[in-house]
Structure 1
Amino acid sequence: MTILVTGGDGYVGWPTALRIATRTDDRVLAVDNFARRDWVEEVGSTSAVPIGWMDERLAAAREAHDVHNLSFVQGDLVEKDFVDELLTVHEPDVIVHTAAQPSAPYSQINGERANYTQHNNMQATRNLLWGLEEHDLTDTHFIETTTTGVYGAPEFPIPEGGAVMENQGERDEVPFPAMAGSWYHLTKSHDAANLRLAQSQFDIPISDVRTAIVYGTETDETRADDRLKTRFDFDYYFGTVGHRFAAQAVAGYPVTVYGKGEQRKPFISLEDTVEGLAQLALTEPDERPDGDDGVTVYNQVTRAISIVEIAETIADVGDEFDLDVAVEHFENPRNEDETHKMEIENDRYMNVIGEQEQDFEGGVRDIFETLTRYTETIEAHEDRFLPGVLEDSED
């Protein structure tokens, strides 16, 4: 069996490929075009954690974990010829599709980057789905990390799958409507629709894994060797809120909360993210749950956390690392409900990973243990914490 992991150089993709390879003797092939490195450099930032190139990572995997079934191919999934060659040569039985331009702020900078994000993300997914059909590989289990951002912020509990629509006294379950709030998130809404269409037309088994905000620096495998570390972005464009707050704390800045900060967002640790994807990739066909209309939707989230709780947890844990972290509230420049209490169902995903491995406080502790080793890197890029910095970086 061959398991293909796209985005194999990325924050989630690399540790996912590594975990799968440690769990099976089957071949695991990571694919990437290294574009994430270019995007972060474009906005004037860098990964706080030094990350090696793939030959170094693969050597470390062999030495630290005796992994000999993990390999790498460089290429761009937007190019159909590359996808055709990839599928023809390797004939994957499972595809874990984590490759994407993943930043909402980056996609919002201007029309050029919005167009790029939508073309890059959606074309790659379509090429893979159509490639499976055209190369007679429709038994391949296609697992994609979309996003919980497709749901927006509704006032009702978010289901794990479809929604119920009612009109003129009649009710029916339908796919959840696209309520995305950025040009990036809308790419995943379109992907979700295309996944459903591909299942309907080609009968490809689909797992739509709607990923929450991922936090953390380590998995069990990456701890073994610094050469196995995954990237950690902390800038305004590619660093998620918890990661930016932690970097601010390490650099001696106050953690900045807009408004009340009581709105809750869905979160999941890197460890729990990787575990779920690995379990899905290695699950036999007859053991997979039946989804809605042949598509199984998983809400890849362990809990919702308020922004102010994130800030206060970072301040509390920071004390353990001799960091004097202040939490400061500023007027909110965004038009959002600062008290929205998101509720999101996740029973199906929790059944995949079993008991939750890591709580938020433990994830923050991991982050500080890592980031305090690279304080100089963070301080050298401290201006990247703030919005509106891209223009300066391009001067």
Structure 2
Amino acid sequence: MTILLTGADGYLGWPTALRIASRTDDRVVLVDNLARRAWVEEVGSTSATPVAEPAERLEAARDVHDLHNLSFVEGDLTDKAFVDELLSVHEPETIVHTAAQPSAPYSQINGERANYTQHNNMQATRNLLWGLEEHDLTDTHFVETTTTGVYGAPVFPIPEGGATMENQGERDEVPYPAMAGSWYHLTKSHDAANMRLAHKQFDIPISDVRTAIIYGTETDETAADERLATRFDFDYYFGVVAHRFCAQAIAGYPMTVYGKGEQRKPFISLEDAVEGLTEVALADPDDRPADHVVYNQVTRAISIVEIAETIADVSDEFDLDVAVEHFENPRDEDETHKMEIENDRYMDLIGEQRQTFEEGIRQVLNTLVDRQETITAYEDRFLPGVLDDWETEDTDEAELTYEAN
């Protein structure tokens, strides 16, 4: 049997590949076009942790974890001919689709990057879904990491999947409306709709794993050898706010909070995200909740001021003098929005939270103190700026950095 994992060179994809391979004897075929490396270089940044080439990673996986069921294929999922060959050769029983251009700020730079993001992300997903139908593989379990960003920031509790709509006394369950706030997040809204359609038309079993903002630098598998490290981005475009704040602490920059900063967003540790995604991928068909199921891959909601204050507190353990500064909020928004998001189905998968936010921040700072030279060399990337001959006039740092995942 074969499991296909796309986006295997990514921050989440690589540690997930290692864990899945460690828990099954099935072949795990990793797919990536290595574009994330180019995107980060394009915006003038780099990963704080050195990222080994795929061949070296696979060698390390064999040496350190005795994993001989991993292989790597380089290719572009937007190329339908490549996807057709991939599916016809490997005939996977499960596809774990983590490949995407994942940055909201990058998608907002200009029209070219918005077009690229939407074409790249949605074309890849459509090619895979239609490929399963055209290659008679509609029993294949299709798992995709979408994003909790498709929900926006409603004032009511967010359901785990659909919503109940009432009109003229009649009630029905309907898909949650797309309320995404960036061109990237909309790609995941469209993917969710396309997966629902593929299930309806082709009867493909679908698991839509709506991933929150992830924090952390490593899992047990990646920590075992530096060649197994996953990437860690800290710049404005590809680094999520918690990671960027940690990098700022290392570089001696104050952490900036706009307004009260009490508005909350959903978060999950890398460890908890990898564990849940592995459980979804390896689940017995009889144990899945349904043939089309949505998981809210989140452990808790955290406010931006709590992020900054937690980093400041933990920084004392590393003799870092970190300040938290409040500035007038340039945006017209509810600065005390208490996001509530249901996650019972997801928590049933992982049982309990494996890493708290404070523990995750401690892990990040412990990793970054040894990478201070790299961070200070790229500290100008903490904030947006002119990149070659293109920039955006409407990019809002407070919103887009925080929502990137």
**Band of TM-score, shorter chain:** over 0.9
Counterpart residue type for residue 358 of structure 1? Q
1:387 to 380, 384, 389: 384
2:395 is matched with none
Provide the rounded CA distance (Å) in 1 between the counterparts of 2:331 and 2:82.
41
Is residue 378 of structure 1 aligned with residue 375 of structure 2?
yes
Distance apart, 1:168 and its partner CA: 1.5
Counterpart residue type for residue 150 of structure 1? V
Is residue 342 of structure 1 aligned with residue 328 of structure 2?
no
Provide the rounded CA distance (Å) in 2 between the counterparts of 1:222 and 1:259.
38
**Deviation digits for residues 333-363 of structure 1 (CA, Å, limit 9, x no counterpart):** 3343211100000000000111110000000
SS of 2:165's partner is strand
1:104 is matched with 104
Provide the rounded CA distance (Å) in 2 between the counterparts of 1:34 and 1:176.
33
1:327 to 324, 328, 331: 324
Counterpart residue type for residue 371 of structure 2? Y
1:352 to 349, 352, 359: 349
SS of 1:165's partner is strand
Distance apart, 1:389 and its partner CA: 4.2
Provide the rounded CA distance (Å) in 1 between the counterparts of 2:283 and 2:263.
36
SS of 2:72's partner is strand
Query: Contact 2:109–2:390 (CA<8 Å) still a contact in 1?
Result: no
1:313 to 293, 296, 310: 310
1:2 is matched with 2
Aligned length: 391
Query: Contact 1:383–1:389 (CA<8 Å) still a contact in 2?
Result: no
Provide the rounded CA distance (Å) in 2 between the counterparts of 1:146 and 1:341.
22
Query: Contact 1:259–1:330 (CA<8 Å) still a contact in 2?
Result: yes
SS of 1:276's partner is helix
1:265 is matched with 265
**Deviation digits for residues 245-274 of structure 1 (CA, Å, limit 9, x no counterpart):** 000000111111122110000000000000
Provide the rounded CA distance (Å) in 2 between the counterparts of 1:217 and 1:392.
33
> Root-mean-square deviation (CA), in Å?
1.1
1:143 is matched with 143
Query: Contact 1:212–1:267 (CA<8 Å) still a contact in 2?
Result: yes
Provide the rounded CA distance (Å) in 2 between the counterparts of 1:233 and 1:367.
11
Provide the rounded CA distance (Å) in 2 between the counterparts of 1:12 and 1:116.
21
Q: Which moved more, 1:326-335 or 1:108-117?
A: 326-335
Counterpart residue type for residue 229 of structure 1? A
Alignment of 1:208-287 (within 5 A): 208-287=208-287
Is residue 65 of structure 1 aligned with residue 43 of structure 2?
no
2:394 is matched with none
Moved runs in structure 1, 4+ residues, more than 4 A?
391-394
SS of 1:221's partner is helix
SS of 2:220's partner is coil
Provide the rounded CA distance (Å) in 1 between the counterparts of 2:113 and 2:389.
17
Provide the rounded CA distance (Å) in 2 between the counterparts of 1:336 and 1:4.
42
Distance apart, 1:217 and its partner CA: 0.2
Counterpart residue type for residue 187 of structure 1? T
Structure 1 residue runs without a partner (length 5+):
none
**Deviation digits for residues 301-327 of structure 1 (CA, Å, limit 9, x no counterpart):** 000000000000000111101111100
Query: Contact 1:44–1:393 (CA<8 Å) still a contact in 2?
Result: no
Provide the rounded CA distance (Å) in 1 between the counterparts of 2:201 and 2:389.
47
**Deviation digits for residues 20-61 of structure 1 (CA, Å, limit 9, x no counterpart):** 011111101110000001110010000010110001111111
Structure 2 residue runs without a partner (length 5+):
392-405
1:167 is matched with 167
TM-score (norm 1): 0.97
Alignment of 1:50-199 (within 5 A): 50-199=50-199
2:42 is matched with 42
Counterpart residue type for residue 20 of structure 2? I
